[in-house]
Structure 1
């Protein structure tokens, strides 16, 4: 095994000190108003040794929210909160992208402005749970977006990118995975539209292309990434031909000149297995920029993936929750703290900023 996983990688004008990425992780710890707070500043600063931090999903508008206490990036207060985080990460020589998120139908009326219905490509309810004031609750029935409304949502993404730039982020990642709005448009299970955003693969990838164009009008294209989950069932999502759909989605990313494509390999957090006829290696070959691999990696498999060229970067989720100094632990092949699932979603400092680093554990 080589040390390539721990070596620098340059994406456009941004050099990452190593190839270990902190995956986006919803933790439900924003302050009222969906504003990042001091607790979040400490959490991200602790993990600044990652080659790149990708923030938790950050909604681009009030309509884009699907879970309690997730941060936004559409109000001045939210931008100010994120600015404290980027400054703390940069003070430790870290690099950080904001993950821009609209949940679409994976929401509840209690989380929506004026108790309105969530929006979606088509009026098909997601058979999934969302996190509300009363705990995990069935997603509400959505309404289908009018064709005329889609430009408004594209503009919400563009404004979110402007806000991310103002907050000091190094770039942004578009959340196109895990059954949320972009993914809902891509797949023919939840997208039954008959306008220019539905039907053919070209039409179903149109919304993705328009949002990527909006984001790259704000940041250089190499400072923009996108996340896909071609074979995930998370969020009650399905597609009749994911290889064809996501080959086209990756080509849209290539056309936009993106810095990286972030792929969840297998079913999110469950298995790395893919359906019969699916081929991750074929999708990986299509990516013209940097390829960021994700899903149930450990030290050995990450080293092997980077050494072989199967991945340029590897994202870790749960291991970064429990190990703020994960890069150093992996470098030394040191023991790892074990994550505490009971504290993943909501709460305070416990299970968030109190996992010990190697130095603290030794002391």
Structure 2
């Protein structure tokens, strides 16, 4: 069953309402907020690589407040243990039974702050919960519920004492983007309201977590023509044979691009994906999945540049495939 025009219109109106609500706390970052909600409604996770003080925590808190969900923050440090993330089983002397105490990962929106500062063992503790939406402790699985979204941050400036995220974990993030600094007008407005320490406190929920899950299901029914799927496949294949890449986009990456494009199309009031949706989302969805060739990396080439060049060289579909 494909999404109807009426459902597409409702989806777009609701999506705009959610973005506008978060925009009250995060000024001048409409596009990034749209990408964040795209990740949430595609039931994926977001990686932010940005300098400190740009509003990463505010984004996570604002998303949770807008969808009437819960929010938690995990400050990743070298001494953080996996059980500090997922939770632990403790023996209760009163009941003579083992009880599970949930970790901070049990929330609607989880901010994993400076994830690259934790050891690889602790980083990997997020893998199962990000992929399966559940935690297994002592052979017992515990669901984290829906919606569930991890927003992980990396500080690109200070690399001392950090552990580079492994490729397998990078591939599990649906999108990677950055907030960046606000424009001048937004900066002035932020400074004028500096008496309010936390702008997210005044946000009111605009939708329930149950409705978010319904929107995710609705977005999955957006039509994707075979010509668009062929276009995505050609883009992914081009990254694998490119002379400047050591490892191209995986099948998971191609699936992620289609999932995001469906949500983006619905957010524009359409029940079908167009090539422009793919072009717009290709960089934040695909760039972090590409590993550059050593020579290209030394030459200063970036994954974003590779994706941009491949987009320019790959002809988009001009007609549907019946």
TM-score normalized by the length of structure 1: 0.29
Structure number with the higher helix fraction is 2
Q: Who wins on radius of gyration, i.e. which is larger?
A: 2
With normalisation by structure 2, the TM-score equals 0.31
